[in-house]
Amino acid sequence: GENVEQHPSTLSVQEGDSAVIKCTYSDSASNYFPWYKQELGKGPQLIIDIRSNVGEKKDQRIAVTLNKTAKHFSLHITETQPEDSAVYFCAASINTGTASKLTFGTGTRLQVTL
Amino acid sequence: DAGVTQSPTHLIKTRGQQVTLRCSPKSGHDTVSWYQQALGQGPQFIFQYYEEEERQRGNFPDRFSGHQFPNYSSELNVNALLLGDSALYLCASRVVVGQETQYFGPGTRLLVL
């Protein structure tokens, strides 16, 4: 089955700096790659996603890149703010209509310091 | 527009007992998935329901079962609870046609003593 690896497990940046989180996946059939942010005591919140027919997507300070050949994708957060501090999860999925199982990475704890 | 809701928020059970968790999907969504998230780990897929049938299942034993109702809400049942079943149980919903995006609820935290 699909396996998703995520690095680093913890990341500390100063406010205003950029943060990059990287993930690799094993199943070349995966075609959908969301990123979720999870704050303490809450469920995961979708922050951005990318489909396999797109190489890059940006939404304000957040961007995701996908390299299908290398089977890896990355999350880029620019101009980090204290409220960006949370645990971030990447995930991969093979969407076939009714089937949409998400396989998650192990998470990255991002801390943005003042 | 109500998001995904789950009940209860917290639950304490003892080994061997049975538990039922409930989920109401986001308005307009017809597909519900359940995930188990152990402390410090990423969510693990349990199963997915669409049109009241289990469509996909992860690597979980038969002690984990579910149901989807005609109004698209869903239940997760766990029998013969083990200490290792202690986790945050998350429900996610989506629209099956044309949208891959899954929205998660706040979860139910289950503690098995």
Per-residue pLDDT of chain A (114 residues; tens, 9 = 90+): 899 999 999 999 999 999 999 999 999 999 999 999 999 989 999 999 999 988 999 999 999 999 999 999 999 999 999 999 999 999 999 988 777 899 999 999 999 999
Which residues are CB-contacts of B57 (< 8 A; sequence separation ≥ 6)? B46, B47, B48
- The radius of gyration computed from the CA coordinates of chain B, to the nearest angstrom, equals 13
CA dihedral B97, B100, B106, B111 (to 10 degrees): 100
CA-nearest residue of chain B to A105? Answer: B42
Per-residue pLDDT at B96 exceeds 80: no
Burial of B84 (0-12, 13-18, 19+ CB in 10 A): exposed
Contact criterion met (CB < 8 Å) for A107 and B97 = no
Per-residue pLDDT at B60 exceeds 70: yes
- Which pLDDT does position A1 carry in this prediction? 85
Give the type of residue at A24. T
Of A44, A45, A100, the CB nearest to B100: A100
Average pLDDT over residues B40-66: 96
Confidence label for B1 from pLDDT (cuts 50, 70 and 90): low
Cα–Cα distance for residue pair B21/B52, rounded to 1 Å? 16
Give the type of residue at A3. N
Average pLDDT over residues B25-33: 93
Per-residue pLDDT at B95 exceeds 90: no
Q: Which of B55-59, B79-83, B96-100 has the lowest mean pLDDT?
A: B96-100
Q: How far is B26 from chain A (nearest CA, A)?
A: 13
Q: Is the dihedral of CA A93, B91, B105, B28 positive or negative?
A: positive
